[in-house]
Amino acid sequence: MRIPDWVQDAIFYQIFPDRFAKSKRNPAGRLPFESWDSPPTHHGFKGGDLYGVAEKLDYLSDLGITAIYLNPVFASACNHRYHTFDYYKVDPLLGGDDALRLLLAEARQRGLGSTDCGRFPTDPGAGSKIRGNEVFARTTPHRTLRHDTHVG
């Protein structure tokens, strides 16, 4: 795998979307999330979303970053989303595929690079829509949108 040239000098800012910023644009925002200020739990969701990340891109740019690194964004039962059960959909709690498309477009306008921590295990586990090495072959078309994507 060739590492893109833009990564060599990038200044990354890692974002855990559930805890970064909430947007009123996300229809899932009406769900009963944990209080934003309450101590975090493993399974409790705070309601941060990708629309909220997009709304904070000017703030991030002002910090001097040149790329964002998203924690996993795929559908999952845990807020950290490392227990992914559907590698074909951005979690609706984060705004879904439309929110990610908007975030990438907004990042591109600001010259920011983007990558996400897409974890592709050998066996995703019980409840996953994908099994074993099938993950690698069947997610390849999605990588241009969701994984190691240069948007600058």
Q: Residue 81 falls within a domain, yes or no?
A: yes
Task: Give pLDDT tens digits for 2-29.
Answer: 777 877 888 889 999 999 999 999 988 8
Q: Which residue has the higher pLDDT, 81 or 57?
A: 57
User: In this structure, what is the dihedral angle of CA atoms 142, 148, 149, 150, given to the nearest 10 degrees?
Assistant: -170
Q: What is the DSSP string of the chain?
A: -PPPGGGTT--EEEE-HHHH---TT-GGGGS-PPPTTSPP-SS------HHHHHHTHHHHHHTT--EEEEPP-EEESSTT--SEEEEEEE-GGGTHHHHHHHHHHHHHHTT-EEEE-----S---TT-SS-TTHHHHHHHHHHHHHSS----
What is the span of the domain harbouring residue 71? 5-33+43-146
Task: Give pLDDT tens digits for 123-134.
Answer: 444 444 443 323
Q: Residue 152 falls within a domain, yes or no?
A: no
Q: Residue 125 falls within a domain, yes or no?
A: yes
Q: Residue 151 falls within a domain, yes or no?
A: no
CATH number of the domain residue 25 falls in: 3.20.20.80
- Number of folded domains that form the chain: 1
Q: Residue 38 falls within a domain, yes or no?
A: no
Q: Residue 73 falls within a domain, yes or no?
A: yes
pLDDT at site 115: 62
Among 13-27, 70-84, 107-121, the range of highest mean pLDDT: 13-27
The residues, ordered by sequence, that sit 6+ positions from 136 with a Cβ below 8 Å of its Cβ are 120
Model-level pTM? 0.74
Q: Residue 48 falls within a domain, yes or no?
A: yes
